[in-house]
């Protein structure tokens, strides 16, 4: 990695030249294919070459430490890289839960050995991770989880089940919360890093309302996990788990506010759909006055949200990383994404209500399924109600009505 000594324009020239040499032209008009590996879709040869090039350079994780293979860029350089990628229509091919939540938390809380073992595979986009948090009896009240890991001397023996494990059927590894002490609640939880190919791990996809199966039930039956895959102190997993949730909420919010990007079938924006399906009046304005007003409200809110997410992310990076305030973003982002997808289907009228078959374009069919999928936005990564609770307790420091005289922190 060249040292640009803070000369951002020199870095821009270097990034531009490298991107022009390495970004396959044919991927320009295919954003979904660019991110195929991160989304678990089959990858073309060009997409594979692009992912490998970005992974080798470390630019899929631009600000991660260079010593593990990350880009080692400053925030300013990372911003320049993003600008240069946007300029040529290139998207980051390296993503998923490893990049969004596990990696950043491992960088903060991992031992040197675990960082050296697990970060390079994420940075190169070669190892996919899934999140083993929720259980049939532990969602919002996550700390009541019952999947247990027993210390058997030379290994951990894991038994139990997880649910809603996104992408478990495609994942190589799982960052998993397990109970290592039955006598305590939060203080009896540890983190284990589990290889999904181990005997006793079974994954069953769940079919969702939008027709896809990206979520799974994950069963662990007498799974033997090596002792060195304990992440953090024994019974000290809860602190790491909460930190990881902040990274998760930060990343979900950024994704929700950015529009329906990265779909295998590209969707029109709400404005394009409204103009195309509802039409415009003689002055060029959207013909339906009521829809025009609601669409304007939505667009203003979405734009303010995008700017706020960007500012908060900048502030977070120059401070201690994401904070409890990510719950505000997650709450607002879910609302905006749901509104956007409802408006899109509404603008399409009857054409937005097709489930399958002739008479509907691929984008129309995708719009309905995306709208149904967006219902999960206010549940995943902590429900809207739980995020409001976090805001009330940790951001506004309001007293908990259940605990008279309790310290809100």
Ligand X SMILES: Cc1cc2nc3c(=O)[nH]c(=O)nc-3n(C[C@H](O)[C@H](O)[C@H](O)COP(=O)(O)OP(=O)(O)OC[C@H]3O[C@@H](n4cnc5c(N)ncnc54)[C@H](O)[C@@H]3O)c2cc1C
* Binds ligand X (CB under 6 A): choice among 39, 92, 382, 391: 382
As measured in angstroms, the least distance from the Cβ of 211 to ligand X is 14
Q: Which of 54, 94, 386, 391 binds ligand X (CB under 6 A)?
A: 386
Q: Is 389 in the site for ligand X (CB under 6 A)?
A: yes
Catalytic annotation, pick one of 248, 250, 346, 364: 248
- Expressed in angstroms, the distance from the first to the final Cα of the chain is 43
If one asks whether residue 385 binds ligand X (CB under 6 A), the answer comes out as yes
202 is catalytic: no
Is residue 380 part of the contact set for ligand X (CB under 6 A)? yes
- Smaller CB separation from ligand X, 84 or 248: 248
Binding ligand X (rule: CB under 6 A), the pick from 324, 383, 393, 394 is 383
- CB closest to ligand X, residue no: 139
Does residue 23 bind ligand X (CB under 6 A)?
no
Q: For residues 286 and 337, which CB has a smaller minimum distance to ligand X in the complex?
A: 337
Figure out which of the listed residues 61, 147, 161, 166 binds ligand X, where binding follows CB under 6 A.
Answer: 166
**Is residue 131 within the footprint of ligand X (CB under 6 A)?**
yes
Taking alpha carbons only, the member of 347, 349, 351 closest to residue 364 is 351
Tell me how far, at minimum, the Cβ of 62 lies from ligand X, in Å.
Answer: 25
Size of the site for ligand X (CB under 6 A): 20
Among positions 207-266, residues that touch ligand X (CB under 6 A) are 215
Residue 144, interface with ligand X (CB under 6 A)? Answer: no
Span from 16-24, 318-326, 361-369, 383-391 in contact with ligand X (CB under 6 A):
383-391
Sequence-distant contacts of 211-217: CB under 8 A, at least 24 apart: 211/355, 211/369, 212/369, 212/373, 213/169, 214/40, 214/166, 214/167, 215/164, 215/165, 215/166, 215/168, 216/164, 216/165, 216/166, 216/167, 216/168, 216/169, 217/161, 217/162, 217/163, 217/165
* Catalytic (active-site) positions: 248
Binding site for ligand X (CB under 6 A): 130-134, 139-140, 162, 164-166, 215, 376, 379-380, 382-383, 385-386, 389
């Amino acid at each position: 990695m060249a040292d640009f000594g803070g000369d951002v324009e020199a870095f821009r020239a270097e990034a531009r030249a490298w991107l022009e040499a390495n970004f396959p032209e044919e991927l320009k008009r295919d954003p979904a294919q660019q991110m195929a590996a991160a989304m678990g879709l089959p990858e073309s040869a060009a997409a594979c070459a692009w992912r490998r090039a970005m992974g080798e350079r470390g630019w899929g994780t631009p600000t991660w430490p260079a010593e593990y293979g990350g880009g080692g860029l400053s925030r300013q350089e990372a911003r320049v890289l993003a600008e240069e990628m946007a300029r040529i229509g290139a998207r980051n091919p390296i993503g998923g839960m490893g990049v969004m939540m596990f990696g950043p938390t491992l960088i903060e809380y991992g031992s040197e050995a675990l960082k050296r073992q697990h970060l390079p595979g994420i940075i190169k986009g070669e190892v996919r991770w899934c999140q083993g948090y929720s259980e049939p009896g532990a969602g919002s009240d996550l700390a009541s989880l019952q999947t247990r890991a027993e210390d058997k001397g030379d290994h951990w023996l894991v038994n139990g089940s997880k649910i809603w494990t996104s992408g478990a059927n495609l994942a190589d590894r799982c960052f998993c919360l397990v109970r290592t002490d039955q006598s305590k609640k939060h203080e009896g939880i540890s983190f284990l890093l589990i290889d999904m190919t181990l005997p006793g791990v079974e994954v069953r996809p769940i079919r969702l309302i939008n027709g896809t199966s990206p979520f799974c039930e994950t069963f662990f039956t007498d799974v033997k996990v090596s002792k060195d895959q304990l992440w953090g102190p024994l019974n000290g997993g809860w602190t790491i788990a909460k930190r990881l949730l902040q990274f998760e909420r930060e990343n979900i919010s950024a994704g929700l506010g950015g529009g329906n990007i990265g779909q295998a079938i590209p969707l029109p924006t709400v404005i394009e759909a409204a103009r195309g399906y509802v039409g415009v009046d003689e002055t060029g304005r959207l013909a339906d006055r009521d829809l025009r007003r609601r669409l304007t409200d939505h667009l203003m809110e979405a734009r303010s949200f995008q700017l706020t997410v960007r500012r908060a992310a900048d502030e977070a990076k120059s401070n201690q990383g994401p904070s409890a305030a990510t719950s505000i973003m997650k709450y607002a982002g879910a609302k905006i994404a749901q509104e956007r997808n409802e408006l899109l289907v509404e603008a399409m009228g009857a054409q937005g209500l097709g489930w399958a078959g002739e008479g509907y374009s691929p984008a129309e069919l995708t719009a309905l399924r995306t709208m149904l999928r967006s219902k999960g936005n206010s549940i995943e990564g902590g429900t809207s109600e739980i995020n409001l609770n976090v805001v009330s307790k940790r951001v506004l420091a309001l007293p908990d009505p259940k605990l008279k005289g309790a310290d809100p922190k």
